[in-house]
Amino acid sequence: MSADPTAGLTAPLQVIARFRDHDFTLHDFLRARVEAQPDGTALEFEGRAWSYGQLDGLVARWAGWLAAKGVAAGDTLAVMAQNDPNTVALLFAAARLGAILVPVNPDYGVPEARYVLDHAQVRGVVVSPDRQPVAEEALEAVPNAQGSPAWVAPLGAALEAEIAAAAPWTAGRGDADDCCLIIYTSGTTGFPKGAMHGQRGFVLTAEAFVERLWLQPDERVMCVMPMFHVNALMYSVGGGLACGGTIVLVRRFSASGFWRTVAETRSTEVNLVAAAGSILVQRPRSEFVPGHGLAKMFVAPQTRAMVDSLRDELEVPLLIECYGMTEIPGVISNPFAGPHILGTMGVLCRHPDPRIERPRARIVDEDGQDVPPGTTGELLVRTPTVMQGYYRDPGQTEAAFQNGWFRTGDLVRLGEDGFYRFVARKKDIIRRRGENVASAEVERTIAECAGVADVAVIGVPSPLGEEDILAAVVPAPGAPHDAAAIIAWTRARLSAPKVPRYVAFVDAIPLTPTHKPAKHRLREDPTLMQRAIDMATPA
């Protein structure tokens, strides 16, 4: 690649200027692209393709079908499925009605799904056929906001036929400031919080991603991350549509088939989490396909070994490191044109259009006062892409903001070079496999296991990047030290990223003077990992 990675590329503002101005609704955002290139390929999935015009038609029929089911403005509906084109259509269809999509992790067990579906007060759930029993059990005795049982619609030929026969919705387009998406993210209490995003924020994030990755009109954005994450929905799906390119949708991430899929689909850009990047560089080189055509990858956090392997061995010339949260997508990133400073969050991003408000950031001390560069403090952000609040949780919403600034709960420092550097999390959250795992939720689950008297869960360094989970367990008197039983109990009740990798049996959990678990003392114990039992499933 040229020393200047932007050489020969169309500038981001010119990329989005190919389409007429829109009103910041998802409907008008998509229509602007349909009008400019109705026959251009918008979406590909497992050998099928949808043009922009066909995608717009699918959205209109989904909206008509939802309206016939009684979905109206302000209603919530969930999708609990692996990546599927219908999730893209559902998002835009719900927004057209002024309704709200709630993407749910399809790997959730019944208790996890029940909490989210109940809290979100969903009117209905679209599911993968294999997840239908889980959704139905989770919805038992859970009325929606209208007081009636929620419906469950399994994806498949029968539903496709219903959608194809539905009358296209033409009665409305939603409003730019309507909430269109609620993404549940774990909080320090262990109970997931629903971050609400408006249509305007979604569109601004999508267009800003064109700037972050210099997406081109012929970009082929491969979406392998699950579509219950901001990464997949706003960066891959939103970014792919914003530049007028093609979304190459993949059902789920497969490390063994990754390079073959990249080559077969002619993908040019992909967004990953650190764990996926680390797995790829450790895979057998027999799976690699030389000359694949993937030109750029958005992945964070990065390590020197990951960068060297991906760039020099696996032929991905440009790797962009960033920082993000579900609540504030698209705020800080290493600049596409450089410099790229390994191990940094990057600098404040911008929207391609100079008329759009720029994100701002502050680093403050415990008293909320700004600290000088080089000093560690909590990162506060103000951005037009910030969430609208936490759904049905005014207390958490109020706590998340300080005079209009979003409190990230992350400790960072600003270098003299203008780059932000992550230091630590104030919140007791473990970052694992691209997900935020609340230790309190894992602790509550393990505490209910027979033979467990007390437990504390902490994050420990993972060889794949990010963190693994260690459970420090105090056995009940006379109970066996049965790590396998604890893991089996947890695996039956929580999704895979929340299941601890390590179990360490201890005599007592250290406490603070206020009788809270002193987790810092566990982390500082050099013998804890030596005593821990590695319960990783063999590859």
Q: What pLDDT shows up at residue 147?
A: 66
44-58, 179-193, 269-283, 453-467: which is most confident: 44-58
Residue showing tokens 């955002």: 29
Answer yes or no: is pLDDT of 440 > 90. Answer: no
In the chain, % of residues over pLDDT 90: 81
φ and ψ of 238, to 5 deg: -65, -45
For the cut 60, the answer to whether the pLDDT of residue 532 exceeds it is yes
Question: In whole angstroms, what is the distance from residue 508 CA to residue 518 CA?
Answer: 11
Give the three-class secondary structure for 186. Answer: coil
Q: What is the pLDDT of residue 1?
A: 45
The string over 346-385, giving b where at least 16 C-beta atoms fall within 10 Å of a residue's C-beta and e elsewhere, is bbbbbbbeeeeeebebbbbeeeeeeeeeeeebbbbbbbbb
Residue keyed to tokens 């990065």 = 302
- Which pLDDT score is estimated for 153? 98
Cross-sheet strand order for the sheet of 332-333: 322-323, 332-333, 347-348
For residue 130, the 8-state DSSP code is G
For the 24-209 domain, the top CATH level (class) is: alpha beta
Instruction: Output the CA–CA distances (angstroms, integers) from residue 267 to 42, 106, 229, 248, 284, in the order listed.
Output: 13, 25, 20, 7, 21
What is the average pLDDT value for the chain, to the nearest integer? Answer: 93
pLDDT band at 336, cuts 50/70/90? very high
Q: According to the model, what pLDDT value does residue 539 have?
A: 32
Q: Look at residue 314 in the predicted model and tell me its pLDDT.
A: 97
Q: Which helix (H) or strand (E) holds 378?
A: strand 377-382
Q: How far apart are CA 168 and CA 58, in angstroms?
A: 8
Closest CA to 182 of 251, 138, 106, 121: 121
Percent of the chain's residues with pLDDT above 70: 96
DSSP notation for 227-295: TTSHIIIIIIIIHHHHTT-EEEE-SS--TTTHHHHHHHHT--EEEEEHHHHHHHHHS-GGG--TT----
Of 162, 165, 106, whose CA–CA distance to 135 is shortest?
Answer: 106
Q: What are 433's two structure tokens?
A: 């496999």
Tens of pLDDT, residue by residue over 353-376, are 999 999 999 999 989 999 999 998
pLDDT digit string, tens, across residues 291-307: 999 999 999 888 888 89
pLDDT at 324: 86
Which residues touch 42 (CB under 8 Å, ≥6 apart)?
A: 33, 50, 51, 52, 54, 55, 240, 241, 246, 247
CB 455 within 8 A of CB 445: no
- Domain pair 24-209 / 430-534, same fold: no
- Over residues 382-410, the pLDDT tens digits come to 999 999 999 999 999 999 999 999 999 98
**Per-range mean pLDDT, top range of 56-60, 453-457, 494-498:** 56-60
- Residue 538 is predicted with a pLDDT of 41
Is 424 a residue whose pLDDT tops 80? Answer: no
Three-state DSSP class for residue 531: helix
Predicted TM-score (pTM) of this structure: 0.85
Whether the CB-CB separation of 502 and 462 falls below 8 Å is answered with no
User: How many of the other CB atoms lie within 10 Å of CB of 285?
Assistant: 9
Higher pLDDT, 441 or 116: 116
In sequence order, the β-bridge partners of residue 197 are 181
- Label the pairing between strands 332-333 and 347-348: antiparallel
Find the angle CA(98)-CA(100)-CA(102) to the nearest 5 degrees: 170
CATH number of 430-534: 3.30.300.30
CB atoms within 10 A of CB 176: 22
**Omega before residue 339 within 30° of 0, cis:** yes
Given a cut of 60, is residue 145 above it in pLDDT? no
In this prediction, residue 512 carries a pLDDT of 60
**What pLDDT does residue 303 have?**
84
**Cα–Cα distance measured from residue 243 to residue 227, given in angstroms and rounded to the nearest whole number:** 19
357-425 has which fold? Luciferase; domain 3 (2.30.38)
Mean pLDDT for 79-86 is: 97
Per-residue pLDDT, averaged over 313-333, amounts to 95
Please report which residue ranges of 70-222 form alpha helices under DSSP H.
Answer: 85-97, 110-120, 132-139, 157-165, 199-213
CA distance 262 to 166: 35
Tokens representing residue 351 in the block:
């929207």
Domain coordinates in residue numbering, the chain: 24-209, 357-425, 430-534
Q: What angle do CA 444, 449, 453 make, to 5 degrees?
A: 80
* Closest to 382 (Cα-Cα) out of 334, 337, 328: 328
Mean pLDDT of 192-206: 97
The single-letter DSSP state of residue 354 is T
pLDDT of residue 40: 98
Q: Rounded to whole angstroms, how far apart are CA atoms 133 and 124?
A: 14
